[in-house]
Amino acid sequence: MAGLPETLIREPTCPHRHMNQLRSINAQTATRHQPAGHPPAAHGKVGVLLLNLGTPDGTGYWPMRRYLKQFLSDKRVIELPRLLWWPILNLVILTVRPGRKGRDYASIWNNERNEGPLKTITRDQAVGLAAIFADHPNVVIDWAMRYANPSTESRIRALHEQGCERILLVPLYPQYAAATTATANDEAFRALMALRWQPAVRTTPAYADDPGYIAALAQSIRDHLATLPWEPEIVVATYHGMPQKYLERGDPYYCQCMKTSRLLLAELDWPKERLLTTFQSRFGNDPWLQPYTDKTITALAKAGTKRIALVAPGFSADCLETLEELDVENRAFFLDNGGSDFSYVPALNASPLGIKVIEGIVRRELGGWL
């Protein structure tokens, strides 16, 4: 026990105070043991990096083309042989698609900040989380995108430069998929490969069945429906789609989506016929996960359903696929085919419910680091 302050010997019943004292001793010792003339070296921090998909830097042709090229060149997203996919991507898709998708993004663009809503919301989530951890000065909260900016590599390096010796990666995807969670982690690992002194790293697991997440989803639905002057006959839980063959190759995404819907239905205490599960955003000619959202919405309207609401449990933040595809395109499918009332339930975003979900996951996964 030689060398330790007397308080650590005499008062063994105060573990939190002792831990802080030990950290102080460690920091002082590290500084004291640095050789004369040693350059300043930040250390002792814990980084928390929120990760989401990404958004183009602008709505014009070239920013959209750069974004789509990076996104659709990801082998986790498009699992086709490169010799087959390269000419399709570069000679067809990147010639036609940037203009059309740019117009879609322009319709939901945050003009005040000149950025996509996903960037705005993810930043706000990081700010909200940082406020909660303000009493932990050794914790640094940051955020990054898998595609476009701020890049994962730039924020990993920024955390490293601030002295983060441990980093928790937090992919904001409730349900795991290789095309989302895995590629987000891949990009972080690539950034770590360039560092001489790598921090210790943890990644958070998917939270498709997390009780806090399920409770927050259910409460957000209740809160939103309470604002409507009408009662939806059916609520559709719509998730981003993926090719059926990805499921057959072992991706757990479909099963986790179905589990989320089952737990959400139980939390809402609704009859099973009131909550439907569908999949949106098909691309290409291969069969994707079914039932398809657009076809289901259209069929419901044609069959006489007049009032529906949509919720997107797979999205932690609203983006093009929710604000434009669901709230605009699918609204039109429903109303044009006989429906009378349609509403979209916003994602949890940076709401108090949404921040609480992220906080719960982060606190759990930081166990032993704080």
SS3 content of the chain, % helix, strand, coil (to 5): 50, 15, 35
Q: What domains sit in the chain, N to C, each tagged with a CATH number?
A: 45-206+352-365 (3.40.50.1400), 211-345 (3.40.50.1400)
pLDDT band (50, 70, 90) for residue 20: very low
Burial of 59 (0-12, 13-18, 19+ CB in 10 A): buried
Q: What's the CA gap between 152 and 146, in Å, rounded?
A: 6
Mean pLDDT, the chain, integer? 92
Token pair listed for 230? 């009408």
Angle at 315 between CA 313 and CA 320, to 5 degrees: 125
Beta bridge partners of 343: 309
* The predicted structure's pLDDT at residue 285: 86
User: Which residues are within 8 A (CB) of 159 and not within 5 positions of it... i.e. 6 or more apart?
Assistant: 45, 47, 49, 140, 142, 167, 199
**Arithmetic mean of pLDDT, 265-281:** 97
Q: What's the CA gap between 255 and 169, in Å, rounded?
A: 23
Beta bridge partners of 47: 140, 167
15 pLDDT above the threshold of 60: no
- Provide DSSP, 177-240: -IIIIIHHHHHHHHHHHT-SSPPEEEEPPP-TT-HHHHHHHHHHHHHHHTTSSS--SEEEEEEE
Q: What is the pLDDT of residues 285-330, one digit of tens each?
A: 899 999 999 999 999 999 999 999 999 999 999 999 999 999 999 9
The secondary structure element, H or E, covering residue 254 is: helix 253-268
> Which of helix, strand or coil describes residue 131?
helix
Cis previous bond, 150, omega within 30:
yes
The secondary structure element, H or E, covering residue 365 is: helix 352-365
Q: What is the pLDDT of residues 192-220, one digit of tens each?
A: 999 999 999 999 999 999 999 999 999 99
Token pair listed for 249? 């190759």
CA-based nearest residue to 298, from 324, 323, 331? 331
Token pair listed for 259? 């589990």
2 pLDDT above the threshold of 70: no
